[in-house]
């Protein structure tokens, strides 16, 4: 194992497991029924289960660089297959799209990528470009602000999600709630977008 830190960590986990064995075995026996699908960034500092103090079985998770949901006609199946399974088979009631401050993916989107040799990264991050372009359109005379772009990207991904017909239907009928969230690395606080006035308010 890479570090003794992780090795010790796993030993602690095994001790916890033994202590709560009944609960774990119940999950193994009965299967999962999470109520929440979390689509977040791969960033090592933004760990959904830790931020929400969640237990095994609570959150169905998909993380990628810059918490992106590729448009439905993009041909990308990784993210959309997770969404499909969570919504159609696990019947989750909430979908959280969670961006975060200091997102390296969005920093890359704001930088000049034209000479980058990281083909996969550039190809992936193009799905966040419309967030930058929208801000540029609103204010052509200044470079888009980092934090504004991070927030705009969360809203863009929510739009992409709602372009899936079955998601739109479940959202309109109230069977599913979609949350656009931002995690602040400096304060450990989550704020949610209020689509009525576009403000961001702490969830607790
Ligand atoms: Zn990130």
pLDDT digits (tens, 9 = 90+) for 123-172: 999 999 999 999 999 999 999 999 999 999 999 999 999 999 999 999 99
Task: Kindly list the catalytic residues.
Answer: 41, 43, 45, 100, 103
CA–CA distance, 105 with 64 (Å, rounded to integer): 10
Furthest CA-CA distance within the chain:
61
Residue 3: predicted pLDDT: 87
How many angstroms does the Cα of residue 45 sit away from the middle of ligand 1?
9
Taking the mean position of all CA atoms in its chain, how far away is CA 26? 28
CA–CA distance, 103 with 101 (Å, rounded to integer): 5
How many angstroms does the Cα of residue 130 sit away from the middle of ligand 1?
17
CA–CA distance, 103 with 108 (Å, rounded to integer): 9
The answer for residues whose C-beta is within 8 angstroms of residue 100's C-beta and 6 or more apart is: 40, 41, 43, 45, 46, 67, 150, 182, 183, 184, 185
How many angstroms does the Cα of residue 63 sit away from the middle of ligand 1?
9
Q: Give the global pTM.
A: 0.96
**Mutual angle of helices 146-162 and 129-138, in 10-degree steps:** 120
CA dihedral 7, 11, 43, 1 (to 10 degrees): 20
Residue 91: predicted pLDDT: 98
pLDDT per residue as tens digits for the range 112-132: 988 999 999 999 999 999 999
Task: Give the Cα-Cα-Cα angle 144, 147, 151 (nearest 5 degrees).
Answer: 95
How many angstroms does the Cα of residue 138 sit away from the middle of ligand 1?
24
| pLDDT < 70: residue spans in the chain | 1
């Amino acid at each position: 194992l890479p570090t003794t830190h992780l090795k010790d960590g796993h030993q602690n986990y095994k001790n916890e497991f033994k202590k709560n064995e009944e609960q774990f075995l119940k999950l193994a026996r009965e299967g999962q029924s999470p109520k929440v699908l979390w689509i977040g960034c791969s960033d090592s500092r933004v760990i959904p289960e830790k931020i929400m103090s969640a237990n095994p079985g609570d959150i169905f998770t998909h993380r990628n660089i810059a918490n992106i949901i590729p448009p439905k006609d993009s041909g990308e199946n990784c993210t959309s297959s997770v969404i499909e399974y969570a919504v159609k088979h696990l019947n989750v009631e909430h979908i959280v799209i969670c961006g975060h401050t200091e997102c390296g993916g969005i920093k890359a989107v704001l930088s000049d990528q034209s000479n980058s040799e990281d083909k996969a990264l550039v190809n992936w991050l193009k799905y966040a470009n419309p967030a930058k372009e929208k801000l540029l359109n609103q204010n052509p005379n200044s470079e888009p602000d980092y934090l504004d772009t991070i927030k705009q990207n969360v809203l863009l991904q929510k739009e992409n999600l709602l372009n899936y017909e079955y998601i739109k239907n479940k959202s309109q009928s109230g069977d599913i709630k979609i949350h656009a969230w931002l995690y602040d690395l400096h304060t450990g606080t989550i704020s949610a977008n209020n689509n009525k006035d576009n403000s961001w308010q702490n969830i607790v």
